[in-house]
């Protein structure tokens, strides 16, 4: 006997699988039961006939679950497999807990499918338990949202298949478009389930793939009409190329084609080749660097730079500004940009007229800088972590001090030799970092290193909870424990009464990270010197472990 809600859930999962969605992170709950039962079946070793093969992860905390999904989706995208990752929750506050990861995914263009269970209409607005306004709860942070009415007893199949096709279409975005819909992002399917919510023995459906491709065809038709004609970049000698998060290798090619200096953030994927400048942030802080910055006539921004104020000033003051691949929403790109494009066009890679004296002047300022290392501090830890990574390694870097330390100490790699560095730079939150790292490690399937601050680590302590039935990834979390959020001491707030700075900014803590890690069944190593850290980093990564660098 098939329950209507269960049949709908099975069709949705089968249709999503036909569209490439096979990664699920689920949190427990009763209203989402039909989805949970179907997912448990599809993920089991005794998968019923017709059920798609899926990868299921279960997390108690929906906030953590959503960040795990974000991490999986981020890592899949690195491998060129941009596919939405689904998060499944019950109704009520469970849904609200998805918001931080949804905001990050929206701003950094990561596709997520939020499958939230809801009460059917007749139970809404009458004070029923665990029932709230879930429709539209994610506001402008989702590419698309809809509420699927509860399945009816004699309903013909097909509705879930169309919903799945539309949801995936919007989540993937359209790289050819120049508007809001261009980048991948989150999509919200709020799904009403009417009782019974329990298991049934209904069959898995055959999905009508023909129906499921309807939306793709519309997309292809639309494309021809809006293909932009980008044109070449003006041959202005005093140009700098800024590569922010997610810029990709084409930022390097733009800089090299014109012999322009390349200022590439660590997560740009463009910190390679002869045009890239090491320690550009420090250089911009010197008198000679400021003089060069004042001479800049044109700025090309690829990806989304967020790390330093001197770079933001270069962008703000640019009289000619070209922007490509800036991120999820065009309204985030600087409003004074001459041109904003979804990605770097081929025309920008055509060689321009060179004036090498401009690039050499920048190189000289960088070469004259004193060493960036500190005696056993955050930068030394960052350098050791970066040096432990090979070209095929993946690392996730937390917000605040760690990403800036990495920017200060990471080398300019030979082309093709850089490790993959990822970060939640969409909104630069310190939340969900451990969960994101766990998602990345689950997806890449090899040992992954995460570098984060102590406050960042504590913010997502719950992310360490991986149940005994869940797959444990190979993840080494290196925590720079400097007794709180020390970034604030380098900002204008440090001018206040030190006691006030400590209490309301630094927020020192007395948490024993060893006890915390062990409570979650994770190995913990404390290191208090560079040789000890290097030893810890040389060990193969096996399971989840915490390396606490006491600086
Ligand atoms: C969710 C969220 N809340 C608050 C902030 C503001 N914030 C930025 S850095 C930081 C402190 C981080 O401390 P830690 O992780 O120890 O890194 P450190 O500054 O010591 O390098 C805070 C609270 C944020 N980025 N995200
Ligand atoms: Mg800290």
> For the segment 182-197, what is each residue's pLDDT rounded down to a tens digit?
789 999 999 999 999 9
Centre of ligand 1 to C-alpha 459, Å, is 9
**Residue of 107, 399, 480, 549 to test ligand 1 pocket, by largest number of atoms within 8 Å of CB:** 399
158 SS3 class: coil
Q: State the DSSP code for 30.
A: S
Q: Please check whether residue 466 is in contact with residue 472, taking contact to mean a CB–CB distance below 8 angstroms.
A: yes
Please report which confidence band the pLDDT of residue 225 belongs to, taking 50, 70 and 90 as the band edges.
very low
The ligand that comes nearest to the alpha carbon of residue 451 is 1
The C-alpha atoms of residue 524 and residue 526 are separated, in whole angstroms, by: 7
400 lines ligand 1 (CB under 6 A): yes
352 lines ligand 1 (CB under 6 A): no
**Mean pLDDT over residues 96-103, rounded?**
98
Centre of ligand 1 to C-alpha 490, Å, is 13
Q: Please check whether residue 107 is in contact with residue 327, taking contact to mean a CB–CB distance below 8 angstroms.
A: yes
**Is the pLDDT reported for residue 279 higher than 60?**
yes
What's the pLDDT at 47?
97
Q: Structure tokens of 259?
A: 């012999």
Instruction: Verify cis geometry, omega within 30 degrees of 0, for the bond prior to 380.
Output: no
427 lines ligand 1 (CB under 6 A): no
What's the pLDDT at 375?
86
429 lines ligand 1 (CB under 6 A): yes
**Is the pLDDT reported for residue 48 higher than 80?**
yes
C-alpha dist (Å) from residue 410 to 47, 185, 395, 534: 46, 30, 13, 16
CA-nearest residue, atom 26 of ligand 1:
429
112 SS3 class: strand
431 lines ligand 1 (CB under 6 A): yes
456 lines ligand 1 (CB under 6 A): yes
The ligand that comes nearest to the alpha carbon of residue 378 is 1
**Is the pLDDT reported for residue 222 higher than 70?**
no
H helical segments located in 19-134 = 33-43, 62-78, 93-96, 99-108
406 lines ligand 1 (CB under 6 A): no
H helical segments located in 232-278 = 249-258
What's the pLDDT at 77?
93
What's the pLDDT at 220?
52
Q: Please check whether residue 502 is in contact with residue 508, taking contact to mean a CB–CB distance below 8 angstroms.
A: yes
303: left (phi over 0), alpha (psi -120 to 50) or beta: left
**Is the pLDDT reported for residue 176 higher than 70?**
no
**Mean pLDDT over residues 519-532, rounded?**
98
Position of tokens 């665990």?
A: 130
What's the pLDDT at 329?
60
Please report which confidence band the pLDDT of residue 177 belongs to, taking 50, 70 and 90 as the band edges.
low
Centre of ligand 2 to C-alpha 444, Å, is 28
Number of the ligand 1 atom closest to the C-alpha atom of 485: 13
Q: Which of 22, 34, 230, 3 is nearest to 116 (CA)?
A: 34
Q: Structure tokens of 181?
A: 């819909």
If residue 81 lies in a helix (H) or strand (E), which one and from where to where?
none
Centre of ligand 1 to C-alpha 400, Å, is 5
Q: Please check whether residue 180 is in contact with residue 330, taking contact to mean a CB–CB distance below 8 angstroms.
A: yes
Task: Quote the strand ranges of 316-407, DSSP E.
Answer: 320-324, 339-341, 394-397
What's the pLDDT at 216?
54
426 lines ligand 1 (CB under 6 A): no
Q: Please check whether residue 452 is in contact with residue 385, taking contact to mean a CB–CB distance below 8 angstroms.
A: no
């Amino acid at each position: 006997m098939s329950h209507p809600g269960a049949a709908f859930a099975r069709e949705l999962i089968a249709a999503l699988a036909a569209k490439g969605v096979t990664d699920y992170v689920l949190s427990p709950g009763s209203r989402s039961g039909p989805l949970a039962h179907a997912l448990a079946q599809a993920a089991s070793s005794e998968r019923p006939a017709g059920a798609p093969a899926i990868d299921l992860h279960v997390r108690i905390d929906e906030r953590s679950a959503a960040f795990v999904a974000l991490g999986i989706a981020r890592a899949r995208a690195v491998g060129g497999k941009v596919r939405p990752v689904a998060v499944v929750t019950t109704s009520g506050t469970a849904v609200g807990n998805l918001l931080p990861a949804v905001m990050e995914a929206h701003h950094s263009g990561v596709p997520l499918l939020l499958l939230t269970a809801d009460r059917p209409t007749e139970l809404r607005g009458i004070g029923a338990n665990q029932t709230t306004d879930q429709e539209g709860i994610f506001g402008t942070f989702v590419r698309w949202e809809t509420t699927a009415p509860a399945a009816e007893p004699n309903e013909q199949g097909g509705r879930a298949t169309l919903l799945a096709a539309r949801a995936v279409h919007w989540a993937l975005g359209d790289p050819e478009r120049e508007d809001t819909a261009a980048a991948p992002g989150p999509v919200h399917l709020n799904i009403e389930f009417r009782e019974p919510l329990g298991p049934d023995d209904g069959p898995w459906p055959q999905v009508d793939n023909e129906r499921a491709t309807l939306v793709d065809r519309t997309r292809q038709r639309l494309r021809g009409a809006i293909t932009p004609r980008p044109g070449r970049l003006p041959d202005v000698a005093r140009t700098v190329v800024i590569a922010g998060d997610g810029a990709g290798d084409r930022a390097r090619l733009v800089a090299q084609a014109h012999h322009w200096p390349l200022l590439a953030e660590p997560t740009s994927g463009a910190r390679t080749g002869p045009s890239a400048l090491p320690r550009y942030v420090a250089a911009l802080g010197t008198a000679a660097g400021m003089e060069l910055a004042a001479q800049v006539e044109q700025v090309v921004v690829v990806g989304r730079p967020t790390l330093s104020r001197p770079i933001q000033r270069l962008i703000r003051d640019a009289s000619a500004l070209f922007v490509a691949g800036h991120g999820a929403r065009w309204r985030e790109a600087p409003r004074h940009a001459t041109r904003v494009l979804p990605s770097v066009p081929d025309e920008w890679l055509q060689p321009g007229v060179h004036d090498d004296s401009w690039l050499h002047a920048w190189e000289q300022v960088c070469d004259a800088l004193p060493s960036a290392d500190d005696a056993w501090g955050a930068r030394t830890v960052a350098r050791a972590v970066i040096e432990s990574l090979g070209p095929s390694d993946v690392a996730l870097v937390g917000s605040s001090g760690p990403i800036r330390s990495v920017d200060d100490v990471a080398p300019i790699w030979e082309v093709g030799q850089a490790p993959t560095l990822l970060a939640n730079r969409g909104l630069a939150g310190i939340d969900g970092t451990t969960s994101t790292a766990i998602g990345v490690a689950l997806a890449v399937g090899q040992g992954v290193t995460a570098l984060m601050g102590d406050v960042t680590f504590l913010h997502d302590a719950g992310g360490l909870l991986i149940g005994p039935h869940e797959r444990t990834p190979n993840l080494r979390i290196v925590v720079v424990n400097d007794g709180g959020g020390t970034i604030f001491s380098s900002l204008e707030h440090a001018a206040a009464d030190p006691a006030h700075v400590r209490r309301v900014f630094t927020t020192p803590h007395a948490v024993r990270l060893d006890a915390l890690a062990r409570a979650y069944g994770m190995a913990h190593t404390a290191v208090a010197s560079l040789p000890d850290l290097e030893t810890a980093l040389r060990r193969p990564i096996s399971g989840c472990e915490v390396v606490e660098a006491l600086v």
